[in-house]
Amino acid sequence: MKIPEKLEVAGIVYTLEDVSPDHPELDHGRLRASQVESKAKMYFRNTIEGDVRGQAFTHEMVHAVMDSLGISMCDVTIDERFVESFSQILYQVLKQL
Ligand SMILES: [Zn+2]
């Protein structure tokens, strides 16, 4: 999968940025990636590559779509379970294109 430098989701142009694993936006090493709608940024651990990177990108993209639909953060645990399972299937499908 080709991962872009920028990604537009519902009018918000996210800039993708590689950061060190201990970056605050990665919760100081707990996360492999994150996205912040208010900053229009997606952050990725600079040590991930290949399918791990593709899956992380798809995961953050699904978060961005959910944010644009206003259906995020009803329950963080449910959100993460849905986003992770949905993005894994979506990534598997996108890889075939
Ligand atoms: Zn997530």
DSSP one-letter string for 29-42:
GT-SEEEEGGGTEE
Predicted model pTM: 0.92
What separation in Å is there between the alpha carbon of 20 and the centre of ligand 1? 18
pLDDT tens-digit profile of 62-78? 999 998 998 876 677 77
- Asked if residue 1 has pLDDT above 90, the reply is no
Q: Give the per-residue pLDDT at 74.
A: 66
The upper half-sphere exposure of residue 11, i.e. CA atoms within 13 Å in the direction of its Cβ, equals 4
pLDDT tens-digit profile of 31-65? 999 999 999 999 999 999 999 999 999 999 999 99
What separation in Å is there between the alpha carbon of 88 and the centre of ligand 1? 12
Q: Give the per-residue pLDDT at 73.
A: 63
- Residues lining ion ligand 1 (Cβ < 5 A) are 83
